[in-house]
Structure 1
Amino acid sequence: MSRSSQGFGLVEMLLALALSLVLVLGATRVFMTAKATYLSQGASAYQQEEARFVLGKMLQEIRMAGFAGCLRTVRDASEGGTFSRFAARPVHWNSADQTLSLVTVDVGEGDGAPTWSLVTDCRKVAVVYSGLQKASEGQQVFALRRVFYRFRNQQLMLGTGLEHQQMVLLDNVQAFDISFGLARSVTDSAVSGYSRDPGDSAQIRSVRLNLTLGDPHGAVRPQRFTLVAALRNRLP
């Protein structure tokens, strides 16, 4: 038999199989690396989108906290004086209960009736009523709402109104913390430092939000997001 008609030997076949196995393993590793990168980028983008939505919503609400309409003097005609009780601290952080409570004006179209209605003629009269109230001729109505956020069991809960009912706003929350930018005195406008427990709410000029989101599948490390919201309205 001539040499040209001979088949592959055992050593040659083993060598070919080894080379094929190396190529398959290399291609598999490249595929798995690309898949892991895709999953981590997707998880990171999802976390960023969730944080952007939640912090953006809170930013608008904090900016409008303490809103009193056209006049600084407001008469409380709400049921049980609830407005005066909550409006005394329109931005309040309970560190023990991990709850942020806000009294703010509705931003955009709110769901359902507001907590209070501020009716004013922007000249002499400004009265707050419970629920939805219609304006008379020459008056304006501002819808006011109490909003509160609570961090519990790796969930950020959202509630509105005077009741304690809440719904899950965000899952996989590893940390949620708030500090307040304080001025040196009530008359100063610049922030001199931050504190989690402000002694005088009238010195609050901004609110710093810290939110840490994790991935339940471990595709990406926990990401920490920080946002500072400046107050537009001086607090009482």
Structure 2
Amino acid sequence: MSTTTICSWNVNSLKVRQSHVLDYLRDASPDVLGLQELKQTTEAVDCAAFHEAGWQISVYGQKTYNGVALISKAAQEDVVYGFPGDNDPQARAIAATINGIRVINLYVPNGKKVGDEKYEYKLSWLARLQSYVEETLQTYDKVVVIGDFNIAPADLDVHDPKAWEGKILCSEPERDALNKLLSLGFYDGFRHIHPEREQFSWWDYRMGGLRRNLGLRIDLNLCSDTLSCNAADIDMEPRRLERPSDHAPAWVSVTPRA
């Protein structure tokens, strides 16, 4: 059975980092790359540059904020933008079937701080995500949910758990929402391969965050139980580039179970 490598990367402005993305596609050559935080409208994205490099691309953009895209070697089937029937104008979800796997790419709201109205929006959004994934599983059995979840799953995914305890990205309601999603029949690909490794995917630009490794693992690849995860990692080199995103690409390689 064929193996599919699926990668998630919050690029924090595709316009600024298009060359980084094209270089990464050339060098790492994942089968699927989900991007978040494009900060461009759909029309503004230079899709031709990706086509010329031999890639398929589907975009759900938004001016200045948000925006998600799926890039793949193979054709993308049944592309869905956002949550079906949802009137939320924020461009935070895109899904397609690629190599027989339903890939859902997400940019989960940050939430600003616990108790803020944006935090309440985040929890509401996560509840709608739960319903959307439940509906997806009625049609598709092989599913990978990827993206910037803006949730660190456990204390091992946090550089200083005590300092972050109860705060945004680490609060109990956020982690409960993530665990509820996992309970639908998913597992965290990275943690499956590396059960004890402390490895982060996001570091603040400020206060020497990367140099001091003051990070969080919030970029996740959740694999359905119908898929076997053979490898997973976080690629550090793009985070060390000049004018990098504050996130690093996180990937998994999966094979359908017999």
Q: Give the TM-score of the pair, scaled to structure 2.
A: 0.23
Higher-Rg structure is 1
- Higher relative CO (CA 8 A, sep ≥ 6), structure 1 or 2? 2
